[in-house]
Amino acid sequence: MHKNRINILGTEFDNYTEKQFHKYLSDDMDGRSNKFIVTANPEMVLSAQKNPKFSKVVNSADYVIPDGIGIIKGAKTLGTPMHERITGFDTLMFLLQAANRKQLKVYLLGSKPEVIEASAKRIEREYPQLDLVGYHDGYFKDNQVIVDEIAEKKPNIVLVALGYPKQEFFINEYRKDIDAIWIGVGGSFDVFSGTKKRAPVILQKLGLEWTYRLFKEPTRIGRMLAIPKYMNLIRAEKKSQEK
């Protein structure tokens, strides 16, 4: 495993088409495998570069998926092009559909109480065959209480929305004893529950979803400056390769 990963500033991405990736996940669900999915964007790549512990956790995941046009652009610039962007949100939607089809057990962890409750309601409404075995918001004190509850419910899939790097550290620490597909989905439930809107499709297609998020939440400016910083580091890396 991991042989064909593409290294972007220290984070090693799997280079799959979305279709291939979905096939692997489908097989994992059928086999009840223990798998850890990271969907990483440029901000997370920079964060991993600065934080060796986070980098180690990300690179030890079973799947590291390029979430964001910045990763695809970076890969191309470095001369190691990747098939396509696969977003965390689309992966979440695929897992819910597959879980519904296969009648699997799902546990939701993270986001604000009203967000996770609204997400649970939507899942119960739109995925009636899926077995939603439990959910908890992301503002708890005692990890062990939560982990014991998850273990008891025996989910096939655990969707963790604690934001990075918290969600990846949590999954890495606790997944060993619970055979499920584990994925960090960041702010996806904020969108899924209808609390936050996703950018218009035209902006998504143009890779400009971030402009919409910035317009809606100007306080994200600090986080968004990560993108030009990331592109500069990619260009510097390219130059050092050419020497």
Q: Which is nearer to ligand UDP, 70 or 186 (CB)?
A: 186
| Shortest distance in whole angstroms from residue 112 CB to ligand UDP | 5
| Shortest distance in whole angstroms from residue 45 CB to ligand UDP | 13
How far is Cα 193 from Cα 211, in angstroms, rounded to an integer? 21
Burial 194-215 (b: 16+ CB within 10 A, else e): eeeebbeeebeeeeebbeebee
Q: Which of 10, 134, 187, 207 binds ligand UDP (CB under 6 A)?
A: 187
42 is an interface residue for ligand UDP by CB under 6 A: no
CA 129 vs. chain centroid, Å, equals: 24
Q: Which is nearer to ligand UDP, 174 or 189 (CB)?
A: 189
Q: Which is nearer to ligand UDP, 21 or 189 (CB)?
A: 189
Residue 120 phi/psi, 5-degree rounding, is -60, -40
186 is an interface residue for ligand UDP by CB under 6 A: yes
> What would the two tokens of residue 9 be?
């500033």
- 103 Rama sector, left if φ>0, alpha if ψ -120 to 50, beta otherwise: left
48 is an interface residue for ligand UDP by CB under 6 A: no
Q: Which of 190, 192, 199, 230 binds ligand UDP (CB under 6 A)?
A: 190
